[in-house]
Chains A and B, each alone.
Chain A
Amino acid sequence: MAEITFITSDNEKVVLEANSGNVMQLAVNNGVKGIDGDCGGVCSCATCHVFVAEKDLNKVGKASSIEADMLELADDANEFSRLCCQIEISDDINGVELTIAKQ
């Protein structure tokens, strides 16, 4: 079980729990604002951009090269950026905090 905290662009905190799937699906299924996941999670649209809290960077890991390239579609991407459809949910990411990028 992993507990994941989303911080939306209007500073609302949403805490969700899940065992499997990816973080984008979890967010979309719970109507978390700012995560669209238009392409269904195949790293094609860059509408699930989040910033990983610095303390959680090691837990979540780095973007793959295709993901890093796709992130360049977002003007505000930085070293904390991930497309959350590419973050698989497992115990390993329990407690992480993700701030959702502005659209």
Chain B
Amino acid sequence: MSQDKTCVIIGASHAGVNLAFNLRKEGWKGNIIIFDKDPKLPYHRPPLSKKYLELEDSIENHLLRSEENYLKENIDLKTGISVINIDTQEQIVTLEGGETQNYDTLVFATGARAFIPPIKGIEKAKHVFSLRNAKDVDEIRKALKNSNQKKVVVIGGGYIGLETAASLKKLGAHVTVLEREERILARVTTAHLSNFFSQLHTSNGVEIFTNKNVIEITRNHQVICDDASSFEADIIIVGVGIKVNTELAEQIGLKMKNGICVNTKMETSQENIYAIGDCTYHYNRFYNRFVRLESVQNAVDQAKIAAKNIHNIETEYDTIPWFWSDQYDVKLQMVGLADGFDDLVIRKEAEKKFSIWYFKENQLLAVDSINNAKSYVLGTKYIKTKTIIDKIKLANPESNLKSIATIK
């Protein structure tokens, strides 16, 4: 019976916290203990680069759950505490400071941390910030307040870098984005969307430079690239991607591959140990391949699946991934994975309202929507039902999106 059992969760972000509450929802009666080294009550991460930064908001407005909620559901949330060792034979975790805690079920919801690239001078520079935790944002805000020039260089033109650029621009900073690839968002989307976001930022006064490989940060506040160009900055934001927190998992010998390997039940290679969220390398049934995804949707949905399986309700992870990003007056919503597409259709309804539909052998793979929730929603339905789309109708913005499905 579950009442005698203890489930220990390492990591109290979207995945870990949702797992805890879902376990209760499924009727698990045992102990639930969550450890996280972040001392704050667990919060939503997406607003960090957006509202939380922009509005100088309180993190209280972005909590995943209220403090009373944890008490009410008898979830033992231990923040500001790191797990440093795991004994899988004895089923015991050791905490920083030497205390131990036994478990029957262990869950890795360890997520990832900002990757700091090996740039000369980066470690010693006091004005370099990453953006992953609320504390990072608090420090960025403080630095911006104390800065006279407010000259910000963002290294990395991915979603985090661009969202941060947009927010800092709104706060009155002079923002320059340096991207190593030939276009921003190169790793995550297609040229069309990259161009759109490039223009969006430029028209809002953010400068974007591509093919800029940063090689040094000097003491006199210069950011130097390998083509000898340099940019002045009193604040530098590093947004070049993440590094999965896998140290503990490696320590105990879990099977790894670009993350912690899990099966569709979120089980790792060892008994009674699960993994969920950004840190997992998992199988996506719909796209028939293994992926590691950095998203709220993946964290929350895997948490739901793991909770059921821990409670002995066999359930398999089978979802179509979705993402979103908000920058200025633009809402980007994405559904599906476009990798491997061989054709795309752009449906343009207005300058800042369009959608891009990705196909492989005429099968719809993914849809990116700009200020166009209808495309996102119907795209989701068409992907799920494997509907064959009339591409000519789709490309015509006058056509009704409900009429683009062809009868099988």
Q: Which residues of B, 17-50, contact A by the 8 Å Cβ criterion?
A: 21, 25, 44, 46-47
Q: Does B110 contact A (CB under 8 A)?
A: no
> Cβ of A72 and Cβ of B72 under 8 Å apart?
no
Q: Does A1 contact B (CB under 8 A)?
A: no
Given A31-B73, A40-B62, A45-B297, A69 and B324 contact (CB-CB distance below 8 Å): no
Q: Does B2 contact A (CB under 8 A)?
A: no
- Minimal beta-carbon separation of A39 from chain B (angstroms): 7
- Count of A residues near B, CB < 8 Å? 21
With the chains together, A102 CA to B210 CA distance in Å?
Answer: 47
- Count of B residues near A, CB < 8 Å? 30
Stretch at the interface among B118-126, B137-145, B372-380: B372-380
Given A29-B69, A66-B331, A39 and B374 contact (CB-CB distance below 8 Å): no
Q: Does B296 contact A (CB under 8 A)?
A: yes
- Minimal beta-carbon separation of A95 from chain B (angstroms): 24
Q: Which residues of B, 292-337, contact A by the 8 Å Cβ criterion?
A: 296-297, 300, 322, 324, 326, 331, 333
Given A39-B324, A42-B324, A73 and B69 contact (CB-CB distance below 8 Å): no
In this complex, what residue of B is CB-closest to A47? B300
Residues of chain A within 8 A of B322, CB atoms compared? 45
With the chains together, A11 CA to B44 CA distance in Å?
Answer: 30
> Cβ of A44 and Cβ of B333 under 8 Å apart?
yes
> Cβ of B377 and Cβ of A31 under 8 Å apart?
no
- Minimal beta-carbon separation of B404 from chain A (angstroms): 15
In the complex, per-residue mask of B331-374: 1 if CB is within 8 Å of any chain A CB, else 0: 10100000000000000000000000000000000000001011
Q: Which residues of B, 53-74, contact A by the 8 Å Cβ criterion?
A: 61-63, 65-66, 68-69, 72-73
> Cβ of B297 and Cβ of A42 under 8 Å apart?
no
- Minimal beta-carbon separation of B162 from chain A (angstroms): 16
Selected contact of B374 from candidates A28, A38, A44, A72, CB within 8 Å:
A72
> Cβ of A42 and Cβ of B46 under 8 Å apart?
yes
Residues of chain B within 8 A of A73, CB atoms compared? 377, 380-381
> Cβ of B69 and Cβ of A31 under 8 Å apart?
yes
With the chains together, A38 CA to B277 CA distance in Å?
Answer: 14
- Minimal beta-carbon separation of A47 from chain B (angstroms): 9
Sample of 11 A–B contacts (CB below 8 Å): A29-B63, A30-B69, A31-B72, A36-B300, A38-B297, A40-B46, A42-B46, A44-B324, A45-B297, A69-B377, A70-B373
Other CB < 8 Å A-B pairs besides A31-B69, A38-B297, A65-B373, 8 of them?
Answer: A29-B69, A31-B65, A31-B72, A38-B296, A39-B296, A39-B324, A44-B333, A66-B373
